[in-house]
Structure 1
Amino acid sequence: MIVASTRVRSERSEAENRPLVAALEERGASARVEPWDAEDAVAGWSAADLVAVRTTWDYSARREEFLAWAARVTGVTTLQNPLSVLEWNSHKRYLVELAEAGVPVVPTRLVPHGSTPEPLGPGRLVVKPAVSAGGRGTYRGLGPELEETLAELAAAGDALVQPAVESIDGDGEVSLIRLGGRWSHAVRKFPPAGGFLVHERHGGRLEDHEPTPREREVADAALACSPAPVHAARVDLVRVDGEPVVMELELIEPELFLRRAPEAAGLLADALLATL
């Protein structure tokens, strides 16, 4: 088995990949971590029974290249999560599709690449690229203040407009992690003082979280829209009018916070092996 990662490894990626490789080896599987874009690793994909996309955290800046790689891997071995999922989940128009399917989501408007965006209202909004990860290119502010930024985003690619979710400031964002057929664990992510991005690299902090039945219900509804079954998923939820709604559905390379749940690496290994 090959675990696909970025070329540049970090403490965060090692914390995700080391426990997984160890758990796979404990189960009798041979596993190693390779950069998804390493030329000298191309021949190895076909020799692997399974390639697991895990910490390919640079894919969003090279989406077409990444999907072309995933298609090549799919042609020679088993890829998890599957190519159809990677294609669908790598563009945030899926949020619009979730809403159309009746899943509670943060209201999202897609601004097509090359279009002239409509004037923004006076309320606090968030604008971001439709292909992005980790909060890259995400801006929050009053509508008129963001019009020039939105125009620049739309000139470069598809963009999104959403209302600012004010509850993030105090309640943070909840992430539910599903491994195989069960919910494994969950965390609550808080932004730093004065900020709104909850990722740790933006100064955010984590604490353990016990999901409510309604949070699981919303997360299940979002996962049901995936174009194919997945071995692992992370569903990010925020509160709007007191109710949980989907902020992001992470099915490509989500950080699963394995370090916060000792049994999670084993569950992830079992889920991967079950796809063979």
Structure 2
Amino acid sequence: MSERAAPGPVTWTAPTPVGLPARPGVSFPRVLRAELGKALTLPSTRWGALVAVLVHAAVACTVAYNARYGAEPPALLGLLTLGLVATQLPVLVLGVLVSAAEYPGGAARSTFLAVPRRLPVLAAQALVAAGLAALVAVAALVVTFLAVLPFRADVAMGLDATDPQTQRILGGLVLYVVAVALLGVALGTLARTPAAGLVAGVGLVFLLERLAPLVGTPWLVAALPGWAGRLVVAPDAGAAAQAAEAGVALTPWAGLGVMAAWALVLLSAAAVRLRRSDV
């Protein structure tokens, strides 16, 4: 009678999970896509972008139309940047809404429950606002150029794209609009309500520069983001005259640097508030 061989040890292998992410948590690309989707679904975002482009073009068209009654035709480069003062308000609103629209209704709790670290949300909102603002600025330039074409008989249409001043003014306009949107994101996060963020933004970008000369300190405007940042869209002679009138030695790129510093400081403050406070 033959002996039966003893069975070998039985091994058990756990099934490999299928469809689970390699790392736990929500990845930054997913946060970025979510914030972009939320921004694009806001009706106020779409309307704000449209208003910014149309206002920019409307200001240039008004000046071009009235140029037939003037002695000297306006330059195309000046018309392309003339509406920036009005255009920056809708862009500021866009930045504030991207970061603050979720707080009043409590939807921000769901966002931070999905992304507990919170800072990726702020970074995604800043990137979304910057990208949308850049698109708005480029669209405003293109639409304004097309809108001015019917008045080309009364406008000096010459534009040298290889001129460093022209490149600085057009590129600086896009960068300035992006900086305005980032200021809006930071102020919206700090205020946590769209109305308060917008009031703070209007005061910082518009009102303070008008109050500084009234208190006998015209040089103070050089430290404000709106006045300093808009030097980048001024011609060389105009920027030098504005700086001399304020009593400061500020170049156009240095003025944009002042505005970038404001955006960086306020975004850092927004990040600290986001990490240390409740929703």
Fold equivalence (TM over 0.5): no
Task: State TM-score, norm by structure 2.
Answer: 0.27
Larger helix percent: 2
- Greater gyration radius: 2
Q: TM-score, normalised by structure 1?
A: 0.27
